[in-house]
Amino acid sequence: MPEFRILSTGNEEFDVKLGGGLPYPTLVIIEGEHGTGKTALSQLLLLGALRAGLRALVLTSESRPADYVIKASASGFPLEDYYIKGQLRVYSLQYPGDLTVEVADEIALRLASLLPGLAGEYGFLVVDSLSYIASRASEPLLNQLVVALRAAASKGLGVVATIHPSAAPKGFINDLLASADGYLRVSQAVVGGRRLKVLSIVKLRGAPPGIETTITFDVDPAFGIKLVPIMVSQA
Per-residue pLDDT reduced to its tens digit, 39-95:
999 999 999 999 999 999 999 998 899 999 999 999 999 999 999 999 999 999 999
- Output the domain CATH number for residue 200: 3.40.50.300
Query: Using one digit for the tens of pLDDT, what is the confidence trace for 143-152?
Result: 999 999 999 9
Q: What are the tens digits of pLDDT across the range 7-50?
A: 999 999 999 999 999 999 999 999 999 999 999 999 999 999 99
Q: Is the pLDDT of residue 235 over 70?
A: no
Query: Is the pLDDT assigned to residue 233 strictly greater than 60?
Result: no
Q: Residue 50 sits in which domain range?
A: 5-234
| Mean pLDDT of the 138-144 span | 96
Region 94-111: mean pLDDT is: 95
Q: What b/e string do you get for 73-86 counting C-beta neighbours within 10 Å, with b at 16 or more?
A: bebbbebeebbeee
pLDDT computed for residue 191 by the predictor? 75
Mean pLDDT of the residues in the chain: 93
Residue 85, amino acid? K
User: In terms of DSSP H, where are the helices of 86-169?
Assistant: 101-114, 131-134, 139-154
Domain count, the chain: 1
**How many whole angstroms separate alpha carbon 9 and alpha carbon 43?**
10
pTM, to two decimals: 0.95
Question: Is the CA virtual torsion 204, 56, 157, 104 positive or negative?
Answer: positive
